[in-house]
């Protein structure tokens, strides 16, 4: 197969991606075995692969995976609903937007995970501390991208709506929101990344809940292959979210 | 033989006296506040469009054509004067006036048929009925077979035809178009002009076209209103006495050439004034900047 034919093939990117991953894993395996990477810091990939079965059967992984996924999903739904609503509010009330947009942007880059003691005091050592930390961390990008998407709606599309005498709610639902949807989804994706990082991070810090707590436990036991295997499952949660948002986006916006 | 006439009485009263207009624009005056002081964009412009007539408004850049489009379409309400549709004074967007915009205005998240059916959906028509009706207008603009395509799968000319079909679907008494072919190449522009002519003739659609393209105006219009450069005034109204039904082949006729030459001689002076004005502003801007 020529290079051009490979570039056109649908399977080629998948094969290249998978191949790159396999090569990287093999390279790490070799580098550890020849002593370039310290095996007491990074375990052999082959050991990690062998640890999967043990982590799944002995560490109640299914339940932990479900818990982390549900915490992140709850926080994800919350950031979407609240973020879009607040973004719409900032879009409609210009004074409010001018007064708060910089603060929201600053909040997006702030390490909010450090506020976990405050959330522990407010919500106690339970899932709501984890969900609310995920919510606070993931909210700003959704707000900012919603404002950006609504403000970026082309004037001519709004004028089409005005010429057809659309009411305010009609203009929002039929023109502004669909036009802003691709940008809003960028914000939701970013928000979900921040949310997931914070959910797992807080689980780790307060030693409570799903995969974050498991990583903490395994690290405390100095079970490095198990720790890395658990991290792989966190990546799996992230992949699940990515696939889910892709699916919802395609359903809502069939064509950009 | 081409005849070029100047209308001495440019007021709406005068125009009404000659023929009853379904659209009457009466003494419109629009002024904007700019950092350099007030700017008169439209200076007491009056015009009247008869039922079924195709009137083109032509003028150089900056003559207030698009401002006039926004006033007639109801998108601008800070003006003096009156716009009357079939005897009823209108202010703001009106169901009798359908607008086609210069910029690409199809909804990218809707298919062709969903775009065309949009005004019917807003009007509350049942889905089956509105899709059926939308198909008629898609057929009218020659896009049968593309009903389920998205705008990004179509060419610029096809997208503009979707926008025209969408506007026609609301069955407006008056079709108002603001340089609808401005972003298209010359050949597509001529062919799309044919399509618009055919639709206008089939539906006997009263049409007001805003354009800066002389060829387009002469090809399509029954009358052409020439506007002066800033402040935008009616400089002259030209009756286009070319046979109908017309097609783009008319552009090669001798009469067509005479009309184009006549209108260009009117416009050249205005366009030159506009160019000098732009140069002056650029020069003064540079002097202020240096």
Q: Each residue's pLDDT tens digit in chain A (256 positions)?
A: 566 676 667 788 889 999 999 999 999 999 999 999 998 888 999 999 999 888 888 888 889 889 999 999 999 999 999 999 999 999 999 999 999 989 999 988 888 888 899 999 999 999 999 999 999 999 999 999 999 999 999 999 999 999 999 999 999 999 999 999 999 999 999 999 999 999 999 999 998 888 999 999 999 999 999 999 999 988 888 888 888 888 888 887 766 5
Most distant CA pair in chain B: distance in Å?
65
How many residues can be counted in chain A? 256
Tokens of B201: 């003739």
Whether residues B150 and A162 touch (CB distance < 8 A) is answered with no
Cross-strand pairs, B40 = B31
| Residue-range domain boundaries for chain B | 12-96+174-289, 104-171
Residues B206 and B49 sit within 8 Å (Cβ to Cβ) = yes
B88-90 and B97-100 beta bridge pairing: unpaired
Phi, psi for B177 (deg, rounded to 5): -125, 130
Q: Which runs of consecutive H residues, i.e. helices, occur in chain A?
A: 3-8, 11-33, 45-58, 61-92, 94-108, 116-123, 127-151, 155-163, 168-171, 177-206, 211-220, 224-252
CATH of domain B12-96+174-289: 3.40.50.300
C-alpha–C-alpha distance, residues B119 and B129, integer Å? 13
DSSP, collapsed to helix, strand or coil, labels residue B47 as strand
B223-227 and B80-85 beta bridge pairing: unpaired
- Residue A2 is predicted with a pLDDT of 67
User: Which of A164, A165, A254 should be substituted to probe chain B, the one whose Cβ sees the most B Cβ atoms within 10 Å?
Assistant: A164
Give residue for tokens 């991606």.
Answer: A17
Q: Does A167 touch chain B (CB under 8 A)?
A: no
C-alpha–C-alpha distance, residues B8 and B14, integer Å? 9
Give residue for tokens 């178009």.
Answer: B177
What's the pTM value of the predicted model, to 2 decimals?
0.79
Residues B63 and B229 sit within 8 Å (Cβ to Cβ) = yes
Angle ∠(A119,A141,A78) on CA atoms, nearest 5: 55
C-alpha–C-alpha distance, residues B35 and B50, integer Å? 39
Q: Does A254 touch chain B (CB under 8 A)?
A: yes
Most distant CA pair in chain A: distance in Å?
73
Q: Which runs of consecutive H residues, i.e. helices, occur in B214-253?
A: 214-220
C-alpha–C-alpha distance, residues A56 and A53, integer Å? 5
| Residue-range domain boundaries for chain A | 61-252
B104 contact residues in A (CB cutoff 8 A): 156
Instruction: Point out the residue among B93, B103, B109 whose CB comes nearest to the CB of A156.
Output: B103
- Which residues are CB-contacts of B176 (< 8 A; sequence separation ≥ 6)? B69, B72, B73, B97, B98, B99, B100, B207, B208, B210
State which residue of chain B sits closest to A250, comparing Cα positions: B109
Residues B24 and B14 sit within 8 Å (Cβ to Cβ) = no
Q: Which of B114, B109, B95 is nearest to B165 (CA)?
A: B114
Residues of chain B with pLDDT under 50: 1-17, 289-290
Cross-strand pairs, B177 = B100, B209
Phi, psi for B82 (deg, rounded to 5): -145, 150
Whether residues B109 and A170 touch (CB distance < 8 A) is answered with no
How many residues can be counted in chain B? 290
Whether residues B107 and A178 touch (CB distance < 8 A) is answered with yes
Give the class (CATH, top level) of A61-252. mainly alpha
């Amino acid at each position: 197969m020529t290079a051009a034919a490979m570039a056109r093939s649908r399977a080629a990117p998948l094969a290249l991606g998978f191949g790159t991953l396999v090569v990287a894993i093999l390279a790490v395996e070799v580098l550890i075995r020849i002593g370039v990477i310290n095996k007491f810091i990074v375990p052999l990939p082959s050991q990690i692969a062998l640890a999967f079965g043990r982590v799944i059967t002995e560490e109640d992984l299914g339940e932990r995976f479900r818990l982390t996924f549900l915490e992140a999903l709850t926080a994800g739904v919350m950031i979407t609903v609240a973020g879009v609503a607040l973004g719409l509010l900032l879009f409609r009330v210009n004074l409010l937007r001018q007064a708060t947009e910089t603060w929201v942007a600053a909040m997006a880059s702030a390490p909010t995970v450090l506020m976990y003691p405050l959330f522990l005091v407010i919500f106690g050592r339970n899932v709501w501390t984890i969900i609310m930390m995920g919510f606070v961390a993931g909210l700003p990008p959704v707000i900012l991208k919603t404002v950006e998407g609504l403000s970026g709606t082309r004037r001519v599309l709004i004028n089409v709506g005005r010429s057809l005498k659309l009411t305010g709610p009609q203009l929002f639902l039929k023109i502004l929101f669909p036009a802003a949807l691709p940008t809003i989804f960028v914000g939701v994706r970013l928000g979900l990344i921040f949310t997931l990082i914070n959910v797992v991070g807080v689980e780790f810090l307060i030693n409570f809940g799903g995969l974050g707590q498991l990583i903490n436990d395994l690290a405390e036991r100095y079970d490095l292959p198990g720790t890395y295997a658990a991290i792989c499952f966190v990546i799996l949660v992230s992949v699940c979210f990515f696939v889910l948002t892709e699916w919802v986006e395609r359903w809502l916006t069939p064509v950009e | 033989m081409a005849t070029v006439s100047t209308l001495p009485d440019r007021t709406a009263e005068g125009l009404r006296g000659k023929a009853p207009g379904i659209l009457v624009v009466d003494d419109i005056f629009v002024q904007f506040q700019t950092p350099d002081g007030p700017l008169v964009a439209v200076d007491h412009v009056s015009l009247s469009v008869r039922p079924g007539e195709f009137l083109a408004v032509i003028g150089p850049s900056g003559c207030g054509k698009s401002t006039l489009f926004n006033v007639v379409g109801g998108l601008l309400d800070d003006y003096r004067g009156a716009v009357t549709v079939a005897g009823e004074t209108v202010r703001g967007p009106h169901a009798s006036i359908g607008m086609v915009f210069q910029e690409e205005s199809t909804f990218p998240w809707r298919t062709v048929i969903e775009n065309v059916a949009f005004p019917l959906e807003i009007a509350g028509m049942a889905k089956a009925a509105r899709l059926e009706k939308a198909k008629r207008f898609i057929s009218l603009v020659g896009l049968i077979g593309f009903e389920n395509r998205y705008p990004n799968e179509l060419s610029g000319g096809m997208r503009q035809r979707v926008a025209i079909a969408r506007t026609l679907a609301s069955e407006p008494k008056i079709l108002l178009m603001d340089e609808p072919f401005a972003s298209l190449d010359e050949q597509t522009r001529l062919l799309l002009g044919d399509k618009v002519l055919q639709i206008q003739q089939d539906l006997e659609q009263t049409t007001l076209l805003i354009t800066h393209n002389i060829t387009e105006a002469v090809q399509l219009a029954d009358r052409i209103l020439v506007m002066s450069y800033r402040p935008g005034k009616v400089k002259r109204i030209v009756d286009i006495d070319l046979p109908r039904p017309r097609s783009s082949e008319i552009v090669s006729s001798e009469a067509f050439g005479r009309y184009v030459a006549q209108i260009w001689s009117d416009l050249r002076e205005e366009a030159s004034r506009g160019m000098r004005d732009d140069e002056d502003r650029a020069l003064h801007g540079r002097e202020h900047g240096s």
